[in-house]
């Protein structure tokens, strides 16, 4: 079921993960902003929740690849 993860090379997955975790570079990365909202209990809007998962998806794929192989 998760065999598609094995087909993604690390040379592509690692830079995409870093880019998505740090985007946008100014004024603050969305992941940091959304995690602060989550900590404060203000992460309630569906667009903010989607944005958090959108920026974390490459990290989840990278972790899945690391733990699978």
- Interval 30-40: pLDDT, tens: 899 999 999 99
Contact between 19 and 31 (Cβ < 8 Å): no
**Rounded distance, CA 34 to CA 25, Å?**
14
Compute the distance between CA of residue 2 and CA of residue 24 in angstroms, rounded to an integer. Answer: 29
Q: Where are the domains of the chain?
A: 24-69
User: Looking at residue 2, what is its pLDDT?
Assistant: 72
pLDDT tens digits, 10-48: 999 999 999 999 988 888 898 999 999 999 999 999 999
Looking up tokens 């079921």, which residue turns up? 1
């Amino acid at each position: 079921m998760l065999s598609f993860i094995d087909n993604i090379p690390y040379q592509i997955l690692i830079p995409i993960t870093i880019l998505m975790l740090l985007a946008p570079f100014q004024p603050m990365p969305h992941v940091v902003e959304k995690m602060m909202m989550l900590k404060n209990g203000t992460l309630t809007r569906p667009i903010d929740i989607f944005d958090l998962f959108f920026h974390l998806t490459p990290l989840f794929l990278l972790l899945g690849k690391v733990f699978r192989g």
